[in-house]
Amino acid sequence: MLDAGPASTPDERYLDVVAVRKSFKGVTVMDGMNFRMARGELVSLLGPSGCGKTTLLRIIAGLMPADEGSVILAGSNISALPPHRRNISVVFQNYALFPHLTVAENVAFGLRARGMSKADAVQPVREALALVRMQDFADRGIAGLSGGQQQRVAVARALVVRPDLLLLDEPFSALDRKLRETMQIELKSLLRDRGITGIFVTHDQEEAMGVSDRIAVMNAGRIEQFADPSTLYASPATPFVMDFVGLSTRLSGRVTGHDGALSVVQTPFGTLRAPGHRPPGAPVMIGVRPELIRLEGGAEMNRVDLVLEDVAVLGSKTMLQGRPADGARLLCELAGIRNGKARGDAVSFHWAVEDTLIYDAPDGAAA
């Protein structure tokens, strides 16, 4: 339940991960990680495998010790507490339901482990199962349940103990696509209604955008950007975030000068302009989202001429793909499917200068 009072500082810093370091066999995987979230927030840790998101989750849960740094939850330092004293529930990727127990016994496990009598546990277990619409399966074994049903039981088991924090490790990855989308919507509203503070770990950007208020994009043990989904998509802070969240086109170039508040960038297929001043001569990377590209536009827009290499009809939209001289791939997303374009057509891609993303070229990727 959310506290009714003013948004006090402890609520803003409900979970505070401070300067956490972790290395495995001499290899540092996390070097001074800081991570903070508010009470009642749903946050995703998004990143490719090996980025440290699961390590961070296990450190928060107490399943793995940090080499240095601290984890503070609701104002108390829990760094030294073992997992069973933290009151942090985890929904595991494979759900980790107890195969020797029934559905109801699985859900009752946390209550019984905390010393609640069998009789006292009956009512909360029934409520938790009703919450995930699994009340009819209470006396069934685990083996016969479908993936979606198992996930519901795992969520009920995690919530029945009223955790201070709920961690979900790739909770949807074992489900097929259709079911995944349904379960995402269902779970999000369930957690939201109950004011649960939750962290999703995922490598799926659509999932992260669908279920969370804010997303921490992680790469190589660091948080590259921590923002709400629309900020993340519209203004990615780094080329990695731009690449990882949504589709994008990336072009290499070099700054040749300035035009008012804009930088002029020479690329192998023409001169482009982008917001902000970059030092002349600097190697940069230009990015643009496919849905911001038009086939017509004025002289004030950025423009690249190319030949269409592929036209893919994707139902509600069409994806045009062209490859100009240097081999970079340009994607243009058009609404609808009737645009009369075909493979081999010569077209011009236009987009607004202010929609152009510009970054210092990553090491080794200079033009």
Partner 1 sequence: MSPARADRIGLLVVPGLAYLGLIYALPLLLLLLKSFRDATGAFSVEEFVLIFGDPLQRSIMARTLRVAFLVTLLALLIAWPTAVVMRRAKGGWLTLFLVAMILPMSLGVVVKAFAWSILFRTNGFINQALMGIGLTDAPIRLLFTETALVIGAANVFLPFMVLPIYAVLQQQDPNLPDAAATLGAGPFYRFFKVVLPLALPGVVAGCAFVFSMAVSMYVIPSLIIGERQQTVAMQIARSFLFLRNEQLGSSLSTILLLVAVSVVLLSSWLAARLGARS
215: helix, strand or coil: strand
User: 92 vs 269, which CB is nearer to partner 1?
Assistant: 92
DSSP 21-35: EEEETTEEEEEEEEE
Query: Closest approach of Cβ 38 to partner 1, in Å?
Result: 22
Query: Closest approach of Cβ 100 to partner 1, in Å?
Result: 4
Q: Are 314 and 331 in contact (CB under 8 A)?
A: no
Query: Closest approach of Cβ 92 to partner 1, in Å?
Result: 5
Q: Which two tokens stand for residue 296?
A: 């017509």
d(Cα 365, Cα 284) in Å, to the nearest integer? Answer: 9
Query: Closest approach of Cβ 118 to partner 1, in Å?
Result: 13
| Binding footprint of partner 1 on the chain (CB under 8 A) | 61-63, 82-84, 86-90, 92, 94, 96-100, 109-110, 113-114, 141, 143, 157-158, 161, 167
Q: Which two tokens stand for residue 180?
A: 């995944």
User: 61 vs 217, which CB is nearer to partner 1?
Assistant: 61
User: 143 vs 335, which CB is nearer to partner 1?
Assistant: 143
CA distances from 331 to 182, 271, 362 (A): 29, 18, 21
User: 63 vs 295, which CB is nearer to partner 1?
Assistant: 63
Query: Closest approach of Cβ 62 to partner 1, in Å?
Result: 8
* All residues at 6 or more sequence positions from 195 whose CB lies less than 8 Å from its CB, including other chains: 1, 2, 39, 40
User: 152 vs 350, which CB is nearer to partner 1?
Assistant: 152
CA distances from 220 to 28, 43, 225 (A): 10, 19, 13
Place of tokens 């033009």: 367
Query: Closest approach of Cβ 28 to partner 1, in Å?
Result: 22
User: 97 vs 293, which CB is nearer to partner 1?
Assistant: 97
